[in-house]
Amino acid sequence: MKIFSKLFLLLTVLSFASFISCSDEEGEGGKAKISGIIYKVVDGGDIAKSGDDYRFVRDTVIASDVDVYLIYGGDENDVYDDKTKTSHNGKFEFDYLRAGDYSLFVYNDNDSYEMRNVHCDKSGTSNVDPIYILDGKNSGKCGIVGDVEILYAAASEDYVPAVAIRVYLRPVGQMSVSDTRTDDNGNYYFSRLEPETEYVVWVEYEERKNGVIVAASQNVKTGKSGEIVKSDLLQAKVY
């Protein structure tokens, strides 16, 4: 009987020690809180020109009803321990946490994610800096822009901005073709392109005398995500 009592006492002590140890780890069961706010940077691919500078037209709005994932222990991986959604005003909270280190992340529209690390004391609120996530078909993409001039050989010897001329684009080694038209100043814009990828850009015109189609083309390589590359001037002729 004494042996049983000692064994029972030992198991009780070990269980209690295990409970105390577990309760010191990150997770639920405490008095701390993590809170923050999330914004969406909406990018559909529209490009604006100001002088010689080009930029994507983006709009920043409140990110409501967005999943926010929390990792206990601060390990930076995709395996999460808890999640919540932002409210109508883009705010989120994780309540009743124990002291320790945590990581939280939110997905961008292109399946990458934004992550923040945060430390919680035994009680109180730990506020996370605002998180901006990318949203829209141009998220994580690039752009190519340029100018087209045209020479109407029968009327003049000078090149002029090519208005409403169709410009074509395709990735090198592929058959898929995109096209657009130049604006009133002979500018063209392509967005939603893959980063660090080589493309062919060209315009076509007809040599009426010979009845053949001639292309003025060049290869352009996009930069990193979010960058806009300006190509060299394209010049076309009409005989």
pLDDT in tens, 102-114: 999 999 988 889 9
Q: Which two tokens stand for residue 22?
A: 């577990």
pTM of the prediction? 0.75
Three-state secondary-structure class, residue 7 = helix
φ and ψ at residue 189, rounded to 5 degrees: -140, 130
Fold match between domain 26-135 and domain 142-238: yes
CATH superfamily, region 142-238: Carboxypeptidase-like, regulatory domain (2.60.40.1120)
pLDDT tens-place string over residues 132-188: 999 999 999 999 999 999 888 767 788 899 999 999 999 999 999 999 999 999 999
Domain range list for the chain:
26-135, 142-238
- What is residue 14's predicted lDDT score, i.e. its pLDDT? 44
**Digit-coded pLDDT (tens) for 9-61:** 444 444 444 444 445 688 999 999 999 999 999 999 999 998 889 999 999 99
Beta strands of the chain (E only): which ranges? 28-50, 53-62, 67-72, 82-85, 91-97, 100-107, 113-120, 123-127, 131-135, 142-152, 160-161, 166-171, 178-181, 187-193, 198-207, 212-221, 228-230, 234-238
What span, in angstroms and rounded, lies between the C-alpha atoms of 45 and 220? 18
The CATH code of domain 26-135 reads 2.60.40.10
Q: What confidence tens digit (pLDDT) does each residue in 187-222 have?
A: 999 999 999 999 999 998 766 656 566 788 999 999
DSSP letter at 87 equals: -
